[in-house]
Amino acid sequence: MAEPGEKLVHVGIDDTDSPLGMCTTYVSSILMLELMKRGCSLADFPYLVRLNPNIPFKTRGNGAVSLHLRCEMGAEEVAGVVERVLEAYSERHAKTDPTAVVVQGDVGELRSVYRRALVELLAPSQVEKALRGARAMVLGGRKGRGVVGAAASIGAYELDVFTYELLLYVPPGSAKPPQAEEGVVELDRLLRPLTFANVDYGASRVLATPRGPDPVLAGIRSANPLVLSSIARRLAESWGASLAVIFKTNQATGAHLSKVKPVGELRPYDSAVVRGLVVAPPAELRGGHVALKVGDSTGTVTCMFYRETGLQRVAKLLREGDRVEVGGGVVPRSRGLTLNAEYVRVLDAPPLSKLENPRCPLCGKRMKSLGKRGGFKCPACGYRDPALGKVEVRVPRFLEPGLYLQRPLAYRHLSPPAEAMGVEPVRAPPLPSLVVWPPPRS
């Protein structure tokens, strides 16, 4: 609860131009420190909000950040600080064009903007009404698209399903110290499954240390913010980071694939889950990918299982009549929409059967059909029986019902990694004393 005179102020930031989207978290962290210096306190962790990963003009990381603060000053004064920080940052780092949205009090209809931006392609015009309803201020953003992410990131408040990520930064433009990568592997061994998605052992790749030009040295994911809080300072010091911030995030929650959609209602760039029957045998394509037609009462869609995901091995084993659930991204192709699978759940794979000629009751050899007149004859001993018919033989399935996830290297940020399944996020922990290191100097 806010103290008398304090206001709850939300700031959402999206940066349409930064190469990996991760600059958004950095500029937001700088802004958060600036607002804390001016007496604002954190009403919650800063949010790193991932949105629909299938938007064509966005990177796979499609993410925005929101801050939720209790401030003596009102939204207008906060907006002034936001504007100054963004301007200074954009001047120094020409490749960025951040857009910010500032809202005071209830986030109102922005909640539905978040829910839609998770799974659909939204145009800036589609969020205008919600912004007016929330009496939001929109700052910066020459290209206009960032307003959707900035608005949606505020609408995520309060996240009901979430994990956490500790981000460690170096100053933008400076070299990344090499010790982080080795450090991540050691950390993963010590803390798994308290931290997750750090390393893809199958591919021998450290996932937690991005190599791009962004200022992120490492990102350590966890269901438990207290674990992150207790290691943040030590990691920052030993890995050579200048700043460490713990974000609450919808990453690893599968939030973009939580609703089943009728096939007939799929639209381009949706993130969607369909449930239905396999209606044709799987088709193996060049490159090792597999295409599979799945239908429900409203239509059929071709589900693509790309080799990189590892899911093509499951798709190959599916047969007509199997019941499946496929989650993924809808992509328009010349021959209609396809659903690029991120996961597949085999709901029912009934045993297959085939009809075979009977065996000879005398010598055990496979008998030959006598054609239309009926009956079978043994090619070995000559035994004939006009009353014999074909026999049904069960074909074993090498496919168990259950959930199949893509390989860690192919993960979207929103995909739940197998190693974190069953790890319950710490629900309502007290804000740890260390959300950001070093703490703001007032």
Give least dist CB 378 to Zn ion, A.
Answer: 3
Number of chain residues interacting with Zn ion (CB under 5 A): 7
Contacting range for Zn ion; rule: CB under 5 A; set: 77-85, 110-118, 140-148, 381-389: 381-389
Does 360 bind Zn ion (CB under 5 A)? Our answer is yes
Does 363 bind Zn ion (CB under 5 A)? Our answer is yes
260 vs 380 by CB, closer to Zn ion: 380
Asked if residue 99 lies in contact with residue 146, where contact means CB atoms within 8 angstroms, the answer is yes
Give least dist CB 385 to Zn ion, A.
Answer: 10
142 vs 366 by CB, closer to Zn ion: 366
Give least dist CB 356 to Zn ion, A.
Answer: 16
Q: Is the dihedral of CA 381, 383, 388, 389 positive or negative?
A: positive
Instruction: Give, in degrees to the nearest 5, the angle at Cα 323 between 320 and 328.
Output: 105
- Pick the binder of Zn ion from 108, 144, 383, 397 (CB under 5 A): 383
Name residues contacting Zn ion, limited to 404-433 (CB under 5 A).
none
Does 362 bind Zn ion (CB under 5 A)? Our answer is yes
Contacting range for Zn ion; rule: CB under 5 A; set: 111-119, 131-139, 142-150, 353-361: 353-361
Give the C-alpha separation, 21 to 24, whole Å. Answer: 6
Q: In the numeric block, which tokens belong to residue 110? A: 């922005």
Asked if residue 147 lies in contact with residue 126, where contact means CB atoms within 8 angstroms, the answer is no
Give least dist CB 387 to Zn ion, A.
Answer: 16
User: Which of 324, 296, 297, 253 is CA-nearest to residue 305?
Assistant: 324
260 vs 363 by CB, closer to Zn ion: 363
Does 88 bind Zn ion (CB under 5 A)? Our answer is no
257 vs 378 by CB, closer to Zn ion: 378
Give least dist CB 364 to Zn ion, A.
Answer: 7
88 vs 381 by CB, closer to Zn ion: 381
Name residues contacting Zn ion, limited to 303-342 (CB under 5 A).
none
Contacting range for Zn ion; rule: CB under 5 A; set: 76-84, 107-115, 227-235, 377-385: 377-385
Strands 47-50 and 243-249: parallel
Does 301 bind Zn ion (CB under 5 A)? Our answer is no
- Pick the binder of Zn ion from 378, 388, 405, 435 (CB under 5 A): 378
211 vs 368 by CB, closer to Zn ion: 368
- The DSSP secondary structure of 315-361, one letter per residue, reads HTT--TT-EEEEEEEEEEETTEEEEEEEEEEEEE-PPEEEEEPPBPT
Give least dist CB 370 to Zn ion, A.
Answer: 14
Asked if residue 361 lies in contact with residue 383, where contact means CB atoms within 8 angstroms, the answer is yes
Give the C-alpha separation, 308 to 10, whole Å. Answer: 39
Give least dist CB 380 to Zn ion, A.
Answer: 5
User: Which of 133, 131, 179, 183 is CA-nearest to residue 153?
Assistant: 131
- Pick the binder of Zn ion from 260, 283, 381, 393 (CB under 5 A): 381
Q: In the numeric block, which tokens belong to residue 322? A: 């199997």
User: Which of 54, 103, 51, 48 is CA-nearest to residue 75?
Assistant: 103
Give least dist CB 392 to Zn ion, A.
Answer: 21
Q: In the numeric block, which tokens belong to residue 98? A: 């951040």
Give least dist CB 376 to Zn ion, A.
Answer: 10
363 vs 403 by CB, closer to Zn ion: 363
Cα-Cα-Cα-Cα torsion 312, 318, 321, 323, nearest 10 degrees, comes to: -60
- The DSSP secondary structure of 151-193, one letter per residue, reads HHHHHTPSPSS-EEEEEEE--TTSPPPTHHHHHHHHHHHHHTT
Binding site for Zn ion (CB under 5 A): 360, 362-363, 378, 380-381, 383
